[in-house]
């Protein structure tokens, strides 16, 4: 019985953690997107500074940039904007592939990593074609 009471008290104490706090939750999808874009922009800026100091890898910087670009593409209102962001994504994926190819050639990355990078370039180019076709 004491265990049940303790369990109920513990659940009551942590239940506010799962509550939807209306003051901190945006009221619309656009508000969520705006907050996410701001956070991702800060992450890219921070990662860029770390990269410049030699404390972050090129891959970390490119990954952070990809996240920002993907959300920017997905939240764009026009097809033209989506295509522009997708062009940037293709360029980033190609940079990632070149970097991983160099690592694989030197033995610091597995050959499968190079295959995955090549697949990601193809996926980005496919998405670009799909966006262009949907104009």
Give residue limits of the domains in the chain. Answer: 30-133
Q: By three-state DSSP, how is residue 58 classified? A: helix
- Per residue, the 3-state secondary structure of 79-109, as one string, reads HHHHHHHHHHHHHHHHHHHHHHHHHHHHCCC
CA–CA separation, 13 vs 52, rounded Å?
Answer: 44
110: left (phi over 0), alpha (psi -120 to 50) or beta: beta
Crossing angle of helices 58-75 and 79-106, in 10° steps, is 160
**6 pLDDT above the threshold of 50:** no
DSSP state of 33: H
Express each pLDDT in 19-78 by its tens digit.
555 556 668 999 999 999 999 999 999 999 999 999 999 999 999 999 999 999 999 999
Model pTM?
0.78
pLDDT confidence band for 7 (50 / 70 / 90): very low
């Amino acid at each position: 019985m004491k265990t049940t009471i303790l369990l109920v008290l513990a659940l009551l104490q942590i239940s506010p953690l799962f509550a939807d706090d209306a003051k901190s939750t945006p009221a619309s999808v656009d508000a969520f997107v705006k907050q996410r874009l701001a956070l991702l922009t800060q992450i890219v800026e921070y990662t860029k500074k770390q990269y410049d100091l030699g404390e972050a890898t090129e891959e970390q910087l490119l990954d952070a940039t990809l996240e920002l670009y993907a959300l920017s593409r997905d939240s764009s209102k026009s097809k033209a904007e989506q295509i522009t962001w997708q062009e940037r994504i293709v360029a980033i994926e190609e940079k990632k592939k070149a970097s991983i190819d160099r690592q694989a050639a030197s033995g610091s990355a597995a050959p499968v990593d190079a295959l995955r990078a090549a697949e990601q370039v193809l996926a980005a180019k496919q998405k670009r074609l799909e966006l262009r076709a949907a104009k």
